[in-house]
Structure 1
Amino acid sequence: MTAVRDERGAALELASVTKRFGDFVAVDDLTLTVPSGSFFALLGPSGCGKTTTLRMVAGLEQPSAGTIGLAGRDVTGVPAHRRPVNTVFQSYALFPHLSVLENVAFGLRRRRARQVRERALEALDLVELAHLAQRRPAQLSGGQQQRVALARAVVNRPALLLLDEPLGALDLKLRRHMQLELKAIQAEVGLTFVHVTHDQEEAMTMADTVAVMNHGRIEQLGPPADLYEHPRTAFVANFLGQSNLVPGRAAGSSADGTTLGVDVGGAWVRVPAVRSVASSQRVLVGVRPEKIRLLGEGHQPRGDENVLGPGTVVDTSFAGVSTQYQVEVAGLGRFGVFAQNVGGSTVHAPGDRVLLAWDVPYTFALDGHEESDAGTLGPDDEP
């Protein structure tokens, strides 16, 4: 399929978009630009406003305030069927009485397009299903049905393709396979994809840019690696992966100003100044679980490391590529630690006394007035 790119720069522009349902504000003064040809993800928990945003872009909801632009055109009041947008849903929404080919061709026939069969077959070839063109949806697996739904959306060559939790109904192994396929298809056809999901791994695997949403606003936006390594709020640090966040008090900087010193429960922890967004003495010091080394009896930290503890291992879980630990440090709480399983690595048992050590550059500092558990999900929460 020939790549389609909008050379005007932005495929989607939201300007001060707000959506209210009575007294409830679902989307709060949202301004956002999605570049043409990009794979963009709106990531957040249930109720954060991401699906409402998608529905407003699709024309299924009207904003209470603000404007929506698609491919350089204001479509705020334009009905859904007249917008250059297609949506792929989790439910597939295929017509059971039509063949795979006719499902893909349906939109082209309604628009009285030319070369309908050729274009439909080309779209099916893109998703590697041309050989199943004459089958009915019921004769396909879940992953195959999702690819048919994608081909049906892509064949119309919209300015924007919306993906609404498209992989949620698939099992874990197939979902991971489809993540890579979707990313490859987007790169090949050059369409702009906006993907709505609550799955952090899915967003980071597929998207060029991720916008983390919370309470109708964007907490942070950027490339996945940047959000993961440089979170600017406790919500982002906890929701995008896992983080250990502990309160501390800023107590000075290095002579050259490159490092911030923080008192954490009586221990001296150094934070690179470029990784600190704290604006007062009260800070939250953070480090990702996979950055920490556990040092057992007889092992000493290096002089250039941050160190906390000693603490007590309270849980050890084997997770294939890593062993995951929970370590209780008196006065500071519980830390998660992920140790990669490599030959000869020490496995610490519950009850072992250990030090927690990590390289200074892996440390970050957030506003200490935030809740350290913001963005975490409890056992009764839904993502």
Structure 2
Amino acid sequence: MTTDTFAESGADLELVGIHKRFPGFTAIEELNLTIPAGSFFALLGPSGCGKTTTLRLVAGLEAPTAGRILVGGTDVTNQKSFQRPVNTVFQSYALFPHMTVLENVAFGLRRRKMADPLGKAHEVLRLVELDHLASRRPQQLSGGQQQRVALARAIVNRPALLLLDEPLGALDLKLRRQMQLELKTIQEDVGLTFLHVTHDQEEAMTMADTIAVMNKGRIEQMGAPQELYELPRTSFVANFLGQSNLFTGPVVSTTSAGVAVDVAGHKIVVPAARAHRTTGEITIGVRPEKLTLHSAKPTHDADVNVMGPGRVTDVSFSGVSTQYLVEVPGAGTLIVFAQNMTFGSDVKFGDEVWVSWGVGHGFGLDDDPADAPRFEADFDTRSIAAQRHLEGA
């Protein structure tokens, strides 16, 4: 089956000057966003950041306080939800338990009095590889199968825009990862525009062409997954999209190639091209998997940053990698991810170590440390170490 026989191409989505205020608080403040037709776009952020409100505005379930919503160039701001060329897949699936899989998928087509609803339903069920289960009831399916039925029911109506509201949140980890790949494949096959709302960073990076990270009703940063991960602009993005080691210190020298920062007596260099600020006190960072542990101080190399000596305060084995927490006097606690290439580890709890990373892996943030307090990660490394100690780990 070719996509031409199934779905029309998706339409672009444009949000212009969107504000949404509720009594007592503002959920969205001055949101401007364009999502190209046929793309897989993710709105990523913590609870309360405004991402679900944005989705409800696009779906027509809420009305903006100000601004316009355009789908395929058509202003739909004042249209009711059923008038918009938009369908939504929710986390709960919302399938009719008394209907078969086939009847669930064909339901919308029949209500719209479309020709050959059962034939079209079979066609989309073949797309999601569930046509052999067409006669079953939803309760006879697994969670992943129900999710695919909900997706089939949404795309059979050929919407210009498909909204995904945490669609994989109810699935276990292994099935969720499998469905991430399947959803991406289906989106590429049908060519619709997908707007995916999630708080799961891995899910967004796995599926989306473009991610917009939201925080307090605004888009903090937007771009391709790799760009956001490798070059975060703010401490919020650096710590929400994965984990980061962040250091704040004064710039001590600047060249066309690099910016040197004094971090607790350590001269740490970041490439000038990867630094958003190059004067005064700035915040720089590096991802935990870029770091290497050493039992002795490494020899000097202009292309390598070194911090230490420090003390290993926690070791956490997670299968493919081991997480180390290293306390460096004056610099704080560093997080190090080390791939488990061999059985066992040469580094143990309490060991004295040095930490190094290539200068090219560092980044400099746009945050002004004088304007805002330091960002605190979602977890407290000291409490993790203390809890492990109490448990005898």
Same fold (TM over 0.5): yes
Q: Which residue of 1 aligns with 2:275?
A: 276
Q: Which residue of 2 aligns with 1:348?
A: 347
Per the TM alignment, residue 305 of structure 1 is displaced from its structure 2 partner at its CA by 0.4
Moved more, 182-191 or 269-278: 269-278
Amino acid at match of 1:372: R
Alignment of structure 1 residues 141-152 onto 2, 5 Å: 141-152=142-153
Moved more, 43-52 or 341-350: 341-350
Amino acid at match of 2:288: P
Match status 1:89 vs 2:94: no
Kindly report the root-mean-square deviation, in angstroms, between the aligned alpha carbons of the 2 structures. Answer: 1.8
Q: Which residue of 2 aligns with 1:310?
A: 309
Give the whole-Å Cα distance in 2 for the aligned partners of 1:248 and 1:169: 43
Give the whole-Å Cα distance in 2 for the aligned partners of 1:349 and 1:111: 66
Q: Which residue of 1 aligns with 2:38?
A: 37
Question: What's the secondary structure of 1:95's corresponding residue?
Answer: coil
Alignment of structure 1 residues 1-383 onto 2, 5 Å: 2-3=3-4, 4=7, 6=9, 11-254=12-255, 257-278=256-277, 280-297=279-296, 299-300=298-299, 302-343=301-342, 346-366=345-365, 367-369=367-369, 370-374=372-376, 376=378
Per the TM alignment, residue 347 of structure 1 is displaced from its structure 2 partner at its CA by 2.8
Contact 2:297 2:354 in 1 (8 A): no
Per the TM alignment, residue 274 of structure 1 is displaced from its structure 2 partner at its CA by 1.2
Give the whole-Å Cα distance in 2 for the aligned partners of 1:358 and 1:279: 20
Give the whole-Å Cα distance in 1 for the aligned partners of 2:25 and 2:60: 20
Contact 1:95 1:137 in 2 (8 A): yes
Aligned-pair identity in percent equals: 61
Give the whole-Å Cα distance in 1 for the aligned partners of 2:350 and 2:300: 20
* CA deviation map 1:112-148 (0-9, x unaligned): 1112111100111111100000111111111111100
Give the whole-Å Cα distance in 2 for the aligned partners of 1:153 and 1:276: 43
Change (3 A) 1:53 1:279: farther
Per the TM alignment, residue 209 of structure 1 is displaced from its structure 2 partner at its CA by 0.3
Change (3 A) 1:228 1:5: farther
Question: What's the secondary structure of 1:107's corresponding residue?
Answer: helix
Per the TM alignment, residue 299 of structure 1 is displaced from its structure 2 partner at its CA by 5.0
Contact 1:270 1:360 in 2 (8 A): yes
Per the TM alignment, residue 378 of structure 1 is displaced from its structure 2 partner at its CA by 6.3
Amino acid at match of 2:283: L
Amino acid at match of 1:331: G
Per the TM alignment, residue 371 of structure 1 is displaced from its structure 2 partner at its CA by 3.7
Change (3 A) 1:374 1:326: closer
Question: What's the secondary structure of 1:96's corresponding residue?
Answer: coil
Per the TM alignment, residue 350 of structure 1 is displaced from its structure 2 partner at its CA by 1.0
Give the whole-Å Cα distance in 1 for the aligned partners of 2:345 and 2:138: 51
Contact 1:262 1:268 in 2 (8 A): yes
Per the TM alignment, residue 300 of structure 1 is displaced from its structure 2 partner at its CA by 3.8
Per the TM alignment, residue 267 of structure 1 is displaced from its structure 2 partner at its CA by 1.0
User: How many residues are paired up?
Assistant: 376
Give the whole-Å Cα distance in 1 for the aligned partners of 2:126 and 2:218: 39
Contact 2:298 2:306 in 1 (8 A): no
Contact 1:34 1:40 in 2 (8 A): yes
Contact 1:5 1:36 in 2 (8 A): no
Contact 2:323 2:335 in 1 (8 A): yes
Per the TM alignment, residue 374 of structure 1 is displaced from its structure 2 partner at its CA by 4.8
* CA deviation map 1:97-126 (0-9, x unaligned): 111000000010111111211110011111
* CA deviation map 1:57-92 (0-9, x unaligned): 000000000000011100000000000000000000
Per the TM alignment, residue 277 of structure 1 is displaced from its structure 2 partner at its CA by 1.1
Moved more, 148-157 or 276-285: 276-285
TM-score (norm 2): 0.92
Contact 2:251 2:278 in 1 (8 A): no
Give the whole-Å Cα distance in 2 for the aligned partners of 1:123 and 1:29: 38
Give the whole-Å Cα distance in 2 for the aligned partners of 1:216 and 1:327: 35
Per the TM alignment, residue 343 of structure 1 is displaced from its structure 2 partner at its CA by 3.3
Give the whole-Å Cα distance in 1 for the aligned partners of 2:303 and 2:20: 50
Question: What's the secondary structure of 2:12's corresponding residue?
Answer: strand
Give the whole-Å Cα distance in 2 for the aligned partners of 1:351 and 1:301: 25
Give the whole-Å Cα distance in 2 for the aligned partners of 1:301 and 1:227: 31
Contact 2:160 2:192 in 1 (8 A): yes
Amino acid at match of 2:161: L
Give the whole-Å Cα distance in 2 for the aligned partners of 1:212 and 1:238: 11
* CA deviation map 1:181-229 (0-9, x unaligned): 0000000000010000000000000000000000000000000000000
Contact 1:246 1:372 in 2 (8 A): no
Amino acid at match of 2:89: V
Give the whole-Å Cα distance in 2 for the aligned partners of 1:231 and 1:337: 19
Question: What's the secondary structure of 1:241's corresponding residue?
Answer: coil
* CA deviation map 1:277-313 (0-9, x unaligned): 1264111120000000011137546442001111000
Amino acid at match of 1:63: P
Per the TM alignment, residue 258 of structure 1 is displaced from its structure 2 partner at its CA by 1.8
Question: What's the secondary structure of 2:250's corresponding residue?
Answer: strand
Contact 2:264 2:331 in 1 (8 A): yes
Per the TM alignment, residue 377 of structure 1 is displaced from its structure 2 partner at its CA by 5.2
Contact 2:35 2:41 in 1 (8 A): yes
Contact 1:245 1:372 in 2 (8 A): no
Task: Give ranges in structure 1 of 5+ residues lacking alignment.
Answer: none
Contact 1:301 1:357 in 2 (8 A): no
Amino acid at match of 1:14: L
